[in-house]
Structure 1
Amino acid sequence: MVSVILLTIAVLLTLTIFSLCLLVFAYKKTNHAKSLLKHAEEKINHIKHELETERRESSIKLKDELYRKRKDFELELKKDRIELDRLQSKLASRAEMIDQKELQIDEMRRELQQKERTLLRTEDVLRINDARLKHMTSELIVKLEHVANMSKEEARTTLLNSLESEVQLTCQKWIQKVEEESKQTAKERAIRILLTAMQRYSADEVMEGSSGIVHLPSEDMKGRIIGKEGRNIKALEMATGMEFIIGDTPDITISGFNPIRREIAKRTLEKLVNDGRINPTRIEETVIQFEKEVEEIVQEMGKNAVLEFNLQSVHPEMITNLGRLHFRTSFSQNVLVHCKEVALFARMIAEELGLEGAIALRAGIFHDIGKAVTAEVEGPHAQIGADIAKRCGENHIIVNAIAAHHEEVPFTSLYAIIVCIADTISASRPGARRETLTAYIKRLEKLEEIANTFSGVKKAYALQAGREIRIIVEESLLDDEQSMILARSIAKKIEEEMNFPGQIKVNVIREVRSIEYAR
């Protein structure tokens, strides 16, 4: 019995504990549910607050945008109204001007009608007067024929003969006066044009010069350059095509007609002297290296000259020959610099005369292009240059200007004359060429002396800085065929007795002049 009671009590206690546990669990779950509900409510409230904030901000932005749009619209509308008012006032002023012009046209029409009526009346009066004048003229002619005892045709012939003589005399005097004034005016204008061109051009008085002499650091270097049994000097001469002259001075002179090869030889020798390694193999390698370097310099100088003067459609051969002139000199004057000077002078003179400056500039820059190949091609450099220009597609005006700049062929355009003048200015300005005054005078005197040694020569003049000798012969002693023989003989003697660059033109003149004066 007792055990049953105990069992019953134990069961009740277990049930009680289990109930308590269930109550505690239910209480916790209820609290958790309440906290979740509270959190959800807070989150909902937060979201509502954010939505309300965003709504207010959007409303504010919308109002601002609407306000800005309205202001812009009002401003644009105000501008349109102002423009409309301006256009209306402009139209009103134009309408007023049109009305005034219509009034003026009406007034002019009335004046023209009045003048037309006046002209018609004047025309009628003139017609009547003309008829009266013809009648009076006929009567006067009849009376004059009766008084002079000659017909109308005879009187006209006599009068015309008298007037013709007077008019011829007057015309001759007037033509002579115009010729004298024209010569004086042309001379003054020519002097002014030349002085203007020379004044506008500004350049260094002394040109840069290049020398074919290489200075050696010591006498021992001569032996190293010559080499064993002369192998090194022979290799240098074979590779460069130049002659190396070794004298008593500590210098080596490079001699040769080709300026490009002479420059290559000079640079090669300077490199070998500085390097110290001198042997045939090294010489050949150095020559090849400087051949490429000088060729690059030639191309660069040619392109720079073309770009400097903004020349268009220039053939590559012309560019190369133009660059080669950088290593060419004439009386110590750099030929490329000389060509640039001539181009500038020619352009300035052409512009002063109202001609195309670009054509004169192109002819000037290319006028000595033949000097780039005179070492390879025989003949006068002017004709050689003209052939090159013609082959490269240059204009016939340019070709003639190149060929005629030493007056070896006739001028066919004013540009050829301008280039000839510009060439003379560049070559004769102070400091352009280094020939001494004494040597210059001696060369001119030698030319005249050679010409005067021949019989039949009346006078001899050295012209164009010694490029031409002009000889006037006795027309009674020499005929035309003998004059031609004399020109060849003088040219041959000049070649035998004188050293000169380029060529000298021997111009023999034989003429008979008959002069009489009408007083």
Structure 2
Amino acid sequence: RCAVEHTSDAAVSVLHLPSDEMKGRIIGREGRNIRTFETLAGVDLIVDDTPEAVTLSSFDPVRSEVARLSLERLVTDGRIHPARIEELIEKAAKEVEEQIMEAGENALLETGIKNMHSELVRTLGQLKFRYSYGQNALHHSLEVAYISGMIASELGLDEETARRAGLLHDLGKAVDHQIEGPHALIGADLARRYNEAPEVVSAIASHHEDQEAQTIYDVIVSAADAVSASRPGARRESLDAYIKRLEKLEELAKSFNGVSKAYAIQAGREVRVAVSPNISDDGVVHKIAFDIARKIEEEMKYPGQIKVTVTRETRATEYAK
């Protein structure tokens, strides 16, 4: 019910160059170009032995994007000197600011949320450039908004309040490198300052248990956040755990006598097992299915239920001569 196209992205900014000769031009005479670039963009520009590539490093994702855009244009343009560097960084900063506002406004349009302070919209848009374990923070916030809205709808609660709280729950991540404290409390403070409803502020503050849950919306957003983060493919950490779980399911099914193949499908919600054609008794096939299901219950932890389907294939081969 919440189909999304996004999977984990890498947060490392590596820029490919047309040739290694470009590295010398980026550094400039006595290093003046690279010094000017690093000072104005506020990033570290790493020029090392990596062939035809340089790396941009910054704790601030917005600065990192400004630096990436301006360096790309400098390389394409070929004119690399301090005045040109300053001009292109200023231009890129304006463009990124426009992208931020556009991303925030699009997020409101997609979720059907109205009447939000422009500073909150801007902060929300900054999440477009922020990643958590490889998962894009704005895409994650949109997912949490959709899931929160669905849960609220099922419970007969106000869907828009739940969506609003879900969308803003990670607001603090956009500025947590500038302000000390947990991102949940930073986000709640921002929302309070710009006149968001108490239910929304409370849901933001409590989604990582930095504050005790006070309303039903707190619990809804916390649950939706966990669902989005644990979705297979969303984050690198959970992807590893997900693959291990599927492998364990298949190994467990294959440990039974008579099983020739086992495949975990439907994101681990079903195991298809093929048994040897030598087993002639249907009762044995049913028993294998029952035993595999019981063993999964005993040895694994999983949400919902796992369907075990055991099939016996019969093949007859004849040759026409």
TM-score (norm 2): 0.73
CA contact (8 A) 1:205 1:430 kept: no
CA contact (8 A) 1:235 1:280 kept: yes
Match of 1:392 among 191, 194, 198: 194
Match of 1:414 in 2: 216
Match of 1:316 among 104, 110, 118: 118
Match of 2:169 among 367, 385, 396: 367
| Aligned-residue offset at 1:208 | 5.2
Q: Amino acid of the residue matched to residue 300 of structure 1?
A: E
Match of 2:17 in 1: 216
CA contact (8 A) 2:233 2:239 kept: no
CA contact (8 A) 1:332 1:433 kept: yes
Q: Does 1:335 align with 2:137?
A: yes
Q: In the comparison of the two structures, how many residue pairs are matched?
A: 242
CA distance in 1, matches of 2:218, 2:226: 13
Q: Amino acid of the residue matched to residue 387 of structure 1?
A: D
| Aligned-residue offset at 1:355 | 1.2
Per-residue deviation, residues 309-337 of structure 1 (Å, max 9, x unmatched)? 22122001110001111111111111000
Match of 2:5 in 1: 204
Gaps of 5+ in 1: 1-199, 442-519
Map 1:84-233; keep pairs closer than 5 Å.
Answer: 200-204=1-5, 206-207=7-8, 211-233=12-34
Per-residue deviation, residues 221-271 of structure 1 (Å, max 9, x unmatched)? 111000011000000100110001111112111111100000000111111
TM-score (norm 1): 0.45
For 2:157, what is the secondary structure of its paired residue?
coil
Q: Does 1:253 align with 2:50?
A: no
Q: Amino acid of the residue matched to residue 200 of structure 2?
A: I
| Aligned-residue offset at 1:211 | 3.9
Higher relative contact order (CA 8 A, sep 6+): 2
CA distance in 2, matches of 1:209, 1:316: 29
Shifted more, 230-239 versus 300-309: the winner is 300-309
| Aligned-residue offset at 1:207 | 4.4
| Aligned-residue offset at 1:398 | 0.4
CA contact (8 A) 1:207 1:334 kept: yes
Match of 1:345 among 126, 141, 147: 147
Q: CA RMSD in A?
A: 1.8
Q: Amino acid of the residue matched to residue 232 of structure 1?
A: N
For 2:15, what is the secondary structure of its paired residue?
strand
CA contact (8 A) 1:350 1:356 kept: yes
CA contact (8 A) 1:298 1:320 kept: yes
Aligned sequence identity (%): 51
CA distance in 2, matches of 1:201, 1:312: 22
| Aligned-residue offset at 1:367 | 0.2
Per-residue deviation, residues 281-314 of structure 1 (Å, max 9, x unmatched)? 0000000000000001111111111122221220
For 1:223, what is the secondary structure of its paired residue?
helix
| Aligned-residue offset at 1:375 | 2.0
For 1:435, what is the secondary structure of its paired residue?
helix
Match of 1:402 among 204, 211, 218: 204
CA distance in 2, matches of 1:324, 1:438: 28
For 1:341, what is the secondary structure of its paired residue?
helix
CA distance in 2, matches of 1:438, 1:206: 13
Per-residue deviation, residues 437-494 of structure 1 (Å, max 9, x unmatched)? 66999xxxxxxxxxxxxxxxxxxxxxxxxxxxxxxxxxxxxxxxxxxxxxxxxxxxxx
Q: Which has the higher helix share?
A: 1
CA contact (8 A) 2:6 2:139 kept: no
CA distance in 1, matches of 2:140, 2:10: 12
CA distance in 1, matches of 2:72, 2:186: 33
CA distance in 2, matches of 1:268, 1:225: 12
Q: Amino acid of the residue matched to residue 22 of structure 2?
A: M
C-alpha distance 379-278 of structure 1, shift in aligned 2 (>3 A):
same
Match of 2:39 in 1: 238
Q: Which has the higher strand share?
A: 2
Q: Does 1:300 align with 2:102?
A: yes
Q: Amino acid of the residue matched to residue 136 of structure 2?
A: N
| Aligned-residue offset at 1:210 | 5.3
Q: Does 1:425 align with 2:227?
A: yes
CA distance in 2, matches of 1:318, 1:416: 20
Gaps of 5+ in 2: 244-321
